[in-house]
Amino acid sequence: MKFVGSGKVKDVYDLEDGTLLFKFSDRVSAYDVKFHDPIPRKGEVLCKFAEFWFGKLPVQNHFVKSVSKNEIVVKKMQMIPVECVIRGYFYGSLISRWKDGQISLPAGTVTDVAAKLPFPVFDSTTKSEHDEPITKKTAVERGLVTDQEFSWLESKSIEIYNMMSQVADAAGFILADLKLEFGKLDGKIVLGDSIGPDEYRMWPKDAYSVGKIQESYDKQILRDWLTANGYQKQFEDARKRGEEPAPPSIPQEIINKMSERYITSFERIASRPL
């Protein structure tokens, strides 16, 4: 077993038999900043969600098996350097990018915070340390994907978002948006990486209300706290100076709430105890 590297959340090992071991940690990141405070049982929840969604979705993927409460084995593949983001609601960075004229929205879009979009919007980004929005034209020109591949990714991502939205709805949740990653395996594009609360925003239906910040069953709780306390701007200012942003300590109340909601979301979505 050979150590490949550590991401924001998981550690990756090459098993040298055509597969990789994903070890999910309790680490958390927000606004591309890694924090020192762990979120108890977060890695376990992310691992169980990856197993659940890869098994639930009728889409070819690279999942092989679970080997522990926070480890899965997946087939090694060539990852496509485009992150596939699907947005179903007017929320998060979509709002500021729309206000700045960086993205256009479907006709009939209600521009109140958390309003549902007329239909899901595909909003791709680069896959890098600091993801940047990228258009189909630019992705093709840079050689990241072909025109046909981009169209397939867009169609398949929206299809997956709609399927996951139905599962979330049945469990009493709204799937506000979703990030997916794909790779090539034996010449085919297949679903990869992992799927869980670090890859989507999920809101409880009974608390949903247009025009306000939503209750969150994902790491948006941390983002909201950072924004409210001025840390998001501090991170942005540090990067403009060419400095790496320094993470603050996360209050225990936020840590406890995140841990509890990660666990609750899995148990409701999967209809079984963690």
**What residues are paired with 126 via a beta bridge?**
82
Residue-wise pLDDT for 90-129, tens only, equals: 998 899 999 999 899 999 999 999 999 999 999 999 987 6
Which of 190, 218, 246 terminates a domain? The answer is 218
Rg (CA), the chain: 18
Asked whether residue 101 is assigned to any structural domain, the reply reads yes
The CATH number of residue 197's host domain is 3.30.470.20
Task: Say what the pTM is.
Answer: 0.93
Match 């840590």 to its residue by tokens: 255
The CATH number of residue 35's host domain is 3.30.200.20
Which of 171, 187, 218 terminates a domain? The answer is 218
Domain containing 106: what range? 78-218
Q: How many structural domains compose the chain?
A: 2
DSSP letters, the chain, are -EEEEE-SSEEEEE-SSSEEEEEE-S--EETTEE-SS--TTHHHHHHHHHHHHHHHSSS-B-EEEEEETTEEEEE--EE-SEEEEEEEES-THHHHHHHTTS----TT---STTPEEEEEEE--EE-SSS--B--HHHHHHTTSS-HHHHHHHHHHHHHHHHHHHHHHHHTTEEEEEEEEEEEEETTEEEEES--STTSEEEEEGGG--TTSPPP-SSTHHHHHHHHHTTHHHHHHHHHHTT-PPPPPPPPHHHHHHHHHHHHHHHHHHHTS--
On whether both 82 and 65 belong to a single domain, the answer is: no
Asked whether residue 102 is assigned to any structural domain, the reply reads yes
On whether both 83 and 207 belong to a single domain, the answer is: yes
The closest alpha carbon to 194, from 87, 26, 49, 39, belongs to 49
Asked whether residue 258 is assigned to any structural domain, the reply reads no
On whether both 103 and 214 belong to a single domain, the answer is: yes
pLDDT score, position 209: 97
Residue-wise pLDDT for 189-219, tens only, equals: 999 999 999 999 999 999 999 999 999 998 8
On whether both 85 and 205 belong to a single domain, the answer is: yes
On whether both 155 and 86 belong to a single domain, the answer is: yes
pLDDT score, position 127: 82
Q: Return mean pLDDT, the chain.
A: 95
pLDDT score, position 80: 96
On whether both 96 and 193 belong to a single domain, the answer is: yes
On whether both 85 and 196 belong to a single domain, the answer is: yes
Asked whether residue 205 is assigned to any structural domain, the reply reads yes
Residue-wise pLDDT for 220-250, tens only, equals: 899 999 999 999 999 999 999 999 999 999 9
Which of 44, 75, 106 terminates a domain? The answer is 75
